[in-house]
Every structure is written in structure tokens, then in C-alpha cells.
Amino acid sequence: MSFDIAALRGAYPALAEQVHGRSLIYLDNAATAQMPLCVAQAVQGLELRRGNVHRGIHALSEECTQAYEDARATVANFLGASPDQIQFTSGTTDAVNRVADALAATLKPGDRIAVTRMEHHSNFVPWQQLCQKTGAEFCILPLTPQGDLDLEAAQELLSPGVKLVAAHSSNVLGTVNDIHALARLTHAAGGALFVDGAQGICHEPVDVAALDCDYYAFSGHKLGGPFGIGALFCRLPLPPARYGGGMVDQVLDLTTTFGPAPLMWEAGTPNVSGAVGLARALEFRRNLPEGWQDWEDGLLERLEQGLGELERVRILGRPRHRSGCLSFTVEGASPFDLAVLLDQLGIAVRSGHHCAQPLLRWLGVEYTL
């Protein structure tokens, strides 16, 4: 291979750990990835010399404000967006809920929100609940038997009336959706496209302009960043969904005017060290040695091939473009028992419904590995 995998592994302290007396083999990255040491150091550096952001004018406050806004610029740059289109969130789930809350006032019976059958609960339940509250129709875009989004069927369902479509790459099947094609269909129907990038951003370069999406959300902890931080790109103007200090212009007795984006989206003291850690994690990824994607694709291919040779193993889906992860079951064995056995060997995998019950129901399984 064209790069030094041992040196790369060396950047992650957790990969030198032992579990049950075995060297850790960590395959649960779709849930949470390990953190490079440089990210932990960036977080600690900020926490040990800190002041509140956008409030004080003393040196520490100004330093932190600068670090926080530099972090925003790094996120914007990573997504091909501008900083005033980026708000920090606590993660993808928070981002979906923020957009859903902000849209609540504009939805009415007769409007429609569509999600794909492969969504994580975080990009499914908030939209489903929003439709229940507003009387809008909730619609699920079907998949092909291979586990790709059925774009032809989607086209029919995305007739005028659709306000928002939510889609992503799957944390269960590894399917990478053709976001650009979906954006075309959504926009032709007059809707906006929300992309849950929690998985996609970990495996593919992202350019929100090229994808042509209206919202893009992701979580830091899946990229080697800290827990409790993520970001949301908004191309469209979005009213604030949270209120409080730091986001206002003038507060009168009965009314309030809000500051400009992105500050109007960030009420209260934000997760400053999280933002700085997230930016460091993105820089780390930007500087990964060339060839990392081939390496990763090679591992996935090897896994798929190896599992495919085993009797009683069922790999779920055969999407046209699979990236980063796959799921399987073993006839006659519980995924939980298998996960426990693998754990005894120092191998961390995810077992369960992966927060994607609508997808697993459609696949005819309750749990997978």
C-alpha cells in the first residue's frame, strides 16, 4: 500500500490498547470513531486557557472567540461553504431537530416531507413527528432490492407539494446515495434537500455546492472529534430554533431582534473546545496520507469477500456504491452473542438494530452485526 498504516495507527492512542488481554481491533467506527492524540491536545489546550466567546473583550475571551471562529472557518472550508452558513450543533441529531423545529411554523396539511427507507432514527423520527404536529404528509422513499435508493420511484413521489427530503449514506448497508441526483429531483419538485452526513462525510470528500443540497449535518465524534459537537450547513435562511444570550441584537420588553447568521442560531455559551477539537479532527483528516480511501475500500472489499465465502452468513444489501461499513447476520446465531464472542477476542463491532428499525423491518431482520 502507498502509505504507512503503522504511522497512521500510531496517531490514535486507543489503537494501542488491550481489551480482554488482546490488542484492540476497533470496527465500530460507524457508531463512534477513535480520537487522534492531536485532537485531544487541541481540546485540552483550549480548556486550560479559556474565556467566554463573543462576550468579553479581555485577552482570553478574545483568544477563544478567535479560536471558535477559526474552527467555524475550518468546517466551512471542509464543506465548501461560507462561515456564515455554518452553525455548531451538538451533533447530527441536534441538527435535524433544529431544522425540524424551525420549519414547524411553515408546514401545513397538504405539504409533504419525504425520507428514505434507509434513514437512521435521527433523520426519521424528527420528521415523522413534525408531520404529526403540523398535519403534513410523511412519506418514505423506497429502496431497490439491492439496497439503493429507487430514484425512479422517488421521482413519482416527489411531485409538487414536497417541502423537504431527508437522505444520507446508510450506517447499516453502507449505501452511498446519489445526493446530486436526489437534489435535482427535490428541487424540480420545489422542495429542499436535507443531507444527514453523519456517515457520508467520514468516507467521501464533501462539497455542498457540488452536491447541491440545502442542509448538510454531521457529528464530530464519528470523525475522530469530540463528543457533543457537530455542525449544520444551511444554504437557505433558517429562523432561530433556540433563544437566549449571544444570539440577539436588541431585546425590548415585548419583542426581540436577532443578530446575523450564524450567531442567531447559537443561543447560550457554545461548546467552544468541542468546536476547536472538531476543526482539528477535520484538519487531521484533510492531511491523511494519499491512498487512505483505497485502503479503506480495500478493507471493505476483503471483508465482503471473506464473509461471502462463509456458509450461513447473509450480507445485507448489494448497493451499487458501498462505503465504510456493511451488516450481516449468521443463520442460527444471535448478533448479540456473536458480538460478545468477538469482544472476547478484542474485536469491537456493533450489534443491534443500528437505530434503523424501518430499514431492518424492510430487510426482514430484527438485528444484525
| Chain positions contacting ligand PLP, by CB under 6 A | 30-31, 91-93, 120, 122-123, 168, 171, 196, 198-199, 219, 355
Q: Give one word for 132, left, alpha or beta, with left for phi > 0 and alpha for psi -120 to 50.
A: alpha
CB of 92 to ligand PLP, least distance (A): 4
CB of 95 to ligand PLP, least distance (A): 8
Does 325 participate in catalysis according to the annotation?
Answer: no
- Between CA 100 and CA 107 the distance in angstroms is 10
3-state helix, strand, coil in the chain (%, to 5): 40, 20, 40
Q: Which is nearer to ligand PLP, 102 or 201 (CB)?
A: 201
Q: Please, what is the end-to-end C-alpha distance for the chain in angstroms? A: 28
- Between CA 93 and CA 101 the distance in angstroms is 12
SS (H, E, C) 109-145: ECEEEEEECCCCHHHCHHHHHHHHHHCCEEEEECECC
Q: Which is nearer to ligand PLP, 189 or 316 (CB)?
A: 316
CB 158 within 8 A of CB 187: no
Backbone angles phi, psi at 249, to 5 degrees: -105, -65
CB of 190 to ligand PLP, least distance (A): 26
Residue 276, SS3 per DSSP = helix
Q: Taking the C-alpha atoms of 83, 72, 323 and 192 in order, what is their torsion angle to the nearest 10 degrees?
A: -40
Q: Which is nearer to ligand PLP, 63 or 178 (CB)?
A: 178
Residue 192, SS3 per DSSP = strand
Q: Which is nearer to ligand PLP, 112 or 221 (CB)?
A: 221
CB of 77 to ligand PLP, least distance (A): 22
CB of 219 to ligand PLP, least distance (A): 3
Q: Which is nearer to ligand PLP, 31 or 40 (CB)?
A: 31
- Could you give the residue numbers annotated as active site? 355
